[in-house]
Amino acid sequence: MDSNTLFLIVMVGFMALLMWNSSRNRKKQAAALAEKLAIGAEVMLGSGIYGTIEAIADDRIVVKSGTSTLEVARGAIARVTKSAEENSPAVKVVAAKKTTPAKAAAKPAAKPAVKKPAAAAAKKAK
């Protein structure tokens, strides 16, 4: 075998390895996305439409966006912006309870108004 043939075989092997690795990563990302899909999750479709999942069937998902309800293919979902747990009312109530005492403690007490000496002298002169 000459060096050109060996180089060609190595390059073909390297390209096959890259394609296999890329396919594996894509499958992992698709599985992670499918795991996040649940009723109540906010999603972005491939067309750029944002909405909330209302129902999930085998290969179709019902998404509510504004006043419209769309039935889309499962593959049309590009990403999950907020998971169902983040959108649940229980999480929002707990988060509100945690931040309320911190906000109250962070507010400084109101200071009484201080009269300026020039203003007091002007009042006495009248």
Q: Residue 14: pLDDT above 80?
A: yes
Q: Cα(52)–Cα(41) distance, rounded to whole angstroms?
A: 6
Domain map (residue ranges) of the chain: 1-36, 38-104
Could you read off the pLDDT of 84-104 as tens digits, one per residue?
Answer: 777 666 545 444 455 555 555
The angle subtended at Cα 87 by Cα 54 and Cα 105, nearest 5°, is 160
Instruction: Please give the CATH architecture assigned to the domain spanning 38-104.
Output: Roll (2.30)
- DSSP state string for 37-97: --TT-EEEETTS-EEEEEEE-SSEEEEEETTEEEEEEGGGEEEEEE-HHHHSHHHHHHHHH
- Stated pTM of the model: 0.53
